Amino acid sequence: MKPKVEHNTIVQPFSVGWDPNDGIMDDPDNHIERFLSKIKGMFLDVDAADAYLTEQGDVKVYEVYEKTIPQRDGEIQFCSSITHPGQIGGEYFMTKGHFHARRDTAEIYYCLRGRGYMMMELESGEYVMEEMYPGRTVYVPAFYAHRSINVGDEALISLAVYPGDAGHDYGSIETAGFKHLVVEKNGKPDVIVNPRFGKVE
Ligand code: M6P
Ligand code: ZN
């Protein structure tokens, strides 16, 4: 049987409003909200996450607004990425992070608000971190897992743009995490090696 090709669905031209102050997109098709209670396992100090939940309740760590674009070569995905400020056991609030399912696809992030880092890591654990602040664009090359980390005290807001058929692969990140984590040390961001990296639970 021939594979089903989606190319007969043509996307109509459109535009969308998007507020650079709060990152909220008008009329999104998807609004993904990640609450601490659901993603606490990605922080190194899960006891600190539990204590946070008990003392301060559940909070939104990050959220994404997007329009639905067909996942195919030739289209472009774009979304508004909002990572809120906060820390768990000294580790800054961040996105889960992912590889692209199609590994040979890149992504750009154009930062509009806040202060943070893009952590980019190869499967081998080699990493590069780039600063994010308004007016700065980060190029995430193909093959790098990537995660936004908010080291400031307001939301870190970026526009992310990537190939239509890139997809998301969370597999190894959900089990082993990133090899490098960013924590606050003496009031400043510092990189530490994740003691859980490479250990499948
Ligand atoms: C950015 C983009 C999205 C991604 C989102 C949240 O906006 O890279 O593709 O989904 O961040 O990050 P994650 O998927 O790692 O949770
Ligand atoms: Zn991506």
Full set of structural domains in the chain with CATH = 30-193 (2.60.120.10)
Lowest mean pLDDT among 48-57, 120-129, 145-154, 174-183: 174-183
Near ion ligand 2, which residues have CB within 5 Å? Answer: 107
Q: Hey, whose CA ends up nearest to atom 2 of ligand 1?
A: 160
Q: Is 79 in the pocket of ligand 1 (CB under 6 A)?
A: yes
b/e per residue 95-105 (b: at least 16 CB within 10 A): bbbbbbebeeb
Ligand that lies nearest to the alpha carbon of residue 144, given by its number in the listed order: 2
Q: What percent of the chain stands above pLDDT 70?
A: 95
Q: Rounded CA gap, 69 and 138, in Å?
A: 22
Torsion sign (Cα): 34, 75, 146, 85? negative
Whether the model pTM is above 0.75: yes
Mapped onto helix, strand or coil, the DSSP state of residue 52 is helix
H or E segment to which residue 95 belongs: none
Q: How far apart are alpha carbons 170 and 99 in whole angstroms?
A: 7
- What does pLDDT average to over the chain? 94
What residues contact residue 12 under an 8 Å CB cut-off, 6+ apart?
A: none
Confidence at residue 3, expressed as pLDDT on a 0 to 100 scale: 47
In the structure encoding, which two tokens stand for residue 157, read together?
Answer: 């807001």
Contact 195, 173 (CB under 8 A): no
